[in-house]
Amino acid sequence: MNSAFASWKIYLAILFGLSITAYLLFNSLNQTHFIQTKQYGTHCWKDVNHNNKIDYTDSKEFYFCKNGTFKQEELSDIITEISWTSSSIFWLFLAFLCMVGRDFAYMLRIRILTKKQLTWKKAFNVILLWEFASALSPGVVGGATVAMFILNKEKINLGRSTSIVMITALLDNLFFILLIPFVFCFISSDMLFPNATWVDKSIALVFWGGFGIIALVCVLLFLSVFVFPKGIGQLLYKLCHIPFLRKFQGKMVSLQHDLQLTSTEMKQENKRFWLGSFGATVLSWTCRYLVINCVLAAFLPISFFNHIFILGKQLVLWIFMLISPTPGASGIAEFAFGELMGEFSSSILLIVALAVIWRLISYFPYLIIGSILLPKWLQKKA
């Protein structure tokens, strides 16, 4: 076992992880876009997909021509052309602090849910590795399975680890459900979904469909942890009758017992326990959402009402990231950001650049930190 975690293999794993991160970052910064120009244009536009809309990122819609009205630019060039003022640096620093606040709140929550069985250092490792797993997993999968493994490796039994992960999902979904009526107190659904085009109608359909699914999942999680933990354990045990899963039957018996024991303990927790857990959830998600508000405020004039409007837009953005089939919602997140936040600036490319800045703050750091942290953590737990 020790040879599997030799130092040179650990550093090789770190190098491999950082190489993947560098590749993803390089691809993001070297995306080619087309911008409209009154002089020195090199391309002309043709509506290939017949949607009566200029798709600035679709190279098929542009062709070389003399005295064209469009030219190519890479995203890295656009970012360097942005006016970087003291105000923009201040807002981006606030965005970074929001990310720190988000992770601190997650650490606080996991310590509350584990009754401080995890030290702050262990909570740091668990949360950062959890975020790393989420960054590498498709939105529809998430990092829940990896989270249970990480908690189990930190000497929290599998049944309790399973329950904790389910409760965090329950609290996250509950916050999302409660935030929607709060946002609609300030803005109307017609503002968020104007129904002007079939695209707007499709977005509204996806949003309300996603809301219904999240509400259903919330109910199922509550029933699983607090009402029918025995039924969930029995279901998992029966699944182990499948031939290639039979070797896990023994562990499932232990898991059934742990789930029921944890459920009994959770039912007996006081209000302070649940208020602390949900308060940490509110803080973490508020910080997560404020990152985009700060990034937009760094380069665009944003009023208080617009901040609330942006918050509403992010509810839609989160649904798209949640159903994304790509790791960490890569590509989908940037596209949805541009579609939803485009009305705050007449420059489509500026919005695209801000989408990349947002991901540089909220996504890529977890890939870098996780690539360094995971091999060393595994070596300690070997």
* Domain spans in the chain, listed from the N-terminal domain onward: 2-79, 83-381
pLDDT given for residue 31 in this prediction: 65
The residue-averaged pLDDT of 5-26 equals 61
Highest-confidence segment of 191-195, 311-315, 336-340: 311-315
| 165 pLDDT higher than 50 | yes
Min mean pLDDT across 128-137, 187-196, 265-274 is at 187-196
pLDDT at residue 304 tops 90 = no
Which residue from 55, 172, 47 is spatially nearest to 109, judged by alpha carbons? 172
pLDDT average, residue stretch 59-66: 81
| Separation CA 299–CA 245 (nearest Å) | 54
**Tally of CA atoms within 13 A in the half-sphere of 239 that contains its CB:** 10
pLDDT for the residue numbered 67:
77
371 vs 51, which has greater pLDDT? 371
* Contact (Cβ atoms closer than 8 angstroms) between residue 29 and residue 360: no
Average pLDDT over residues 219-240: 75
Give mean pLDDT, residues 180-208.
Answer: 75
d(CA 298, CA 309): 17
**How many Cα atoms within 13 Å fall on the side-chain side of residue 48?**
11
Share of the chain above pLDDT 90, in %: 17
109-121: b or e for each residue (b if 16 or more CB lie within 10 Å)?
bbbbbbeeebeee
For 234-259, what is the mean pLDDT?
68
How many C-beta neighbours within 10 Å does residue 256 have? 19
Query: Residue 285's pLDDT is what?
Result: 93
Q: How confident is the model at residue 17 (pLDDT cuts 50, 70, 90)?
A: low
- Over residues 124-132, the mean pLDDT reads 91
The average pLDDT across 232-254 equals 68
Q: At what angle do helices 158-184 and 144-153 cross, to 10 degrees?
A: 140
Amino acid at 69: T
Encode pLDDT of 79-110 as tens digits: 666 777 889 899 999 999 999 999 999 999 99
Nearest Cα to Cα of residue 371 among 48, 128, 196, 153: 128
- The CA distance from 305 to 192, in Å, is 13
Closest Cα to residue 94, out of 307, 381, 344?
A: 307
153 vs 149: CA distance, rounded Å: 6
Average pLDDT (15-22) is: 65
Distances in whole angstroms, Cα of residue 144 to Cα of each of 128, 148, 191 = 13, 6, 35
Q: pLDDT (tens digit, 9 = 90+) per residue, 314-337?
A: 888 888 787 777 777 777 777 777
pLDDT band at 279 (very low <50, low <70, confident <90, very high): very high
Please determine, for residue 65, whether its predicted confidence score (pLDDT) is greater than 80. Answer: yes
| CA separation for the pair 114, 156 (Å, rounded) | 8
pLDDT higher at 126 or 378: 126
Q: SS3 sequence, 269-325?
A: CCHHHHHHHHHHHHHHHHHHHHHHHHHHHHHCCCCHHHHHHHHHHHHHHHHHHHCCC
> In 3D, which of 175, 182, 262, 183 has the Cα closest to residue 218?
175
CB 312 within 8 Å of CB 341: no
pLDDT of the residue at 156: 86
Q: What was the pLDDT predicted at 68?
A: 81
How confident is the prediction for the chain on average, in pLDDT? Answer: 79
Residue 9 pLDDT greater than 70, yes or no: no
Looking up tokens 């947002």 gives: 358
Q: How many residues does the chain have?
A: 382
Which sign, positive or negative, has the C-alpha torsion 70, 72, 75, 79?
Answer: negative
Lowest mean pLDDT among 165-174, 294-303, 314-323: 314-323
Whole-number pLDDT of residue 72? 75
201 pLDDT more than 90: no
Kindly report the CA angle at 275 between 269 and 276, in degrees rounded to 5? 90
